[in-house]
Amino acid sequence: MTGTVTKTETLPIKDSSDVVFVRQRVRVWATEMKLSLVDQTKLVTAASELGRNTLEHGGGGQLEISEVVNGLRKGIKLTFSDKGPGIPDIKLALTDGYTSRQGMGLGLGGSKRLMNEFEIQSAPGEGTTVTVIRWK
Amino acid sequence: MERIPILRMGNFLLVTIQVDMHDKLALTLQDDLTSKIADVGAKGVLIDISSLEIVDSFIGRTLANIASMARVLDAQTVVVGMQPAVAITLVELGMSLPGIRTALNVESGMQYLHETVTSDRDSEEYDGDSD
């Protein structure tokens, strides 16, 4: 997760309309950075999956959107954090088809495939922070 | 309460999703469509998603559920107009939407529904069933 943060915005994730707002704001950031349409779509889709996880599994939390610069590269970094129950087995949670509820089980593993960088920090009782970057 | 309108055209129901749906709205659409199929005895459902800028796993699952429920109620579903960037993202996400019939646009989607429903009726007549 290397890169210098140049600007940020923080959004709350408390209900399902916040997830829609998260998608819209991430789209605005992606458009301003002039990401290709496919990259914009991947970033917004991953934001939707991870935002829903923060809401459904983490009991709500927040998203920090940042512009990051690493040498000549620019990208968008998304940090989703919650103070929920945490993930006991991260490796298992990243497996396609694994779901703790009624979902498809594609949220975490799928989002990882859509991003260039993906990092997850979690422990039982200590909440979850997922950080992803899509480089331009 | 916010709702997505469902239009009826003969035996078919038409839905155009033009808003960025939150999860509850997607579930409301699923319930409304399923009830409407049963109410009017619809034989086909066409869902136009050409305005959708993303389809995530939740919306994908909702579309798959609608198609399954419609099939159980003797109706065919076709999802039309998916943007190429959405298709690329969905497959990379891990969802290839098995069980969902798709078409490039409303016109070919309608054609598919007409053909399927007509051929169903023909085969029923061939079997000697009568209504």
- The radius of gyration of chain A from alpha carbons, rounded to an integer in Å, stands at 14
Average of per-residue pLDDT across A3-21: 94
- CB of B60 less than 8 A from some CB of A: yes
What pLDDT does residue B98 have?
Answer: 82
Question: Rounded CA gap, B3 and B5, in Å?
Answer: 6
- Residues A114, B88: C-beta atoms closer than 8 Å: no
Q: A-chain residues within 8 Å CB-CB of B63?
A: none
Confidence of residue A105 (pLDDT cuts 50, 70, 90): low
Residue A106 has pLDDT above 80, yes or no: no
Question: Rounded CA gap, B20 and A20, in Å?
Answer: 7
DSSP state of B23: H
Contact B70, B38 (CB under 8 A): no
Q: How many A-B residue pairs are in contact by the CB < 8 A criterion?
A: 71
Residue B34 has pLDDT above 60, yes or no: yes
Helix (H, G, I), strand (E, B) or coil at A16: helix
Average of per-residue pLDDT across A2-21: 93
Of B24, B56, B61, Cβ closest to residue A48: B56
Residue A134 has pLDDT above 80, yes or no: yes
Question: Rounded CA gap, B46 and A87, in Å?
Answer: 40
**CATH code for the domain defined by B6-126:** 3.30.750.24
Confidence of residue B102 (pLDDT cuts 50, 70, 90): very high
Residue B65 token pair: 């559920």
Average of per-residue pLDDT across B57-85: 96
Maximum Cα–Cα distance for chain A, whole Å? 43
Residue A76 has pLDDT above 80, yes or no: yes
Could you list the beta-strand ranges (E) of chain A. 4-13, 61-70, 73-82, 117-122, 128-135
- Residues A37, B60: C-beta atoms closer than 8 Å: no
- Residues A49, B88: C-beta atoms closer than 8 Å: no
Confidence of residue A6 (pLDDT cuts 50, 70, 90): confident
Q: Does domain A4-135 have CATH number 3.40.50.10190?
A: no
Q: Show me where the domains of chain B are located.
A: 6-126
In terms of phi and psi (left: phi > 0; alpha: psi -120 to 50; beta: otherwise), the region of B102 is: beta
In terms of phi and psi (left: phi > 0; alpha: psi -120 to 50; beta: otherwise), the region of B58 is: alpha
Residue B81 token pair: 């107009």
What pLDDT does residue B97 have?
Answer: 87
Question: Shortest CA distance to A84 belongs to which of A49, A51, A55?
Answer: A55
ipTM exceeding 0.90, yes/no: no
How far A25 CA sits from the closest chain B CA (Å)? 13
Q: Show me where the domains of chain A are located.
A: 4-135
- Residues B89, A16: C-beta atoms closer than 8 Å: no
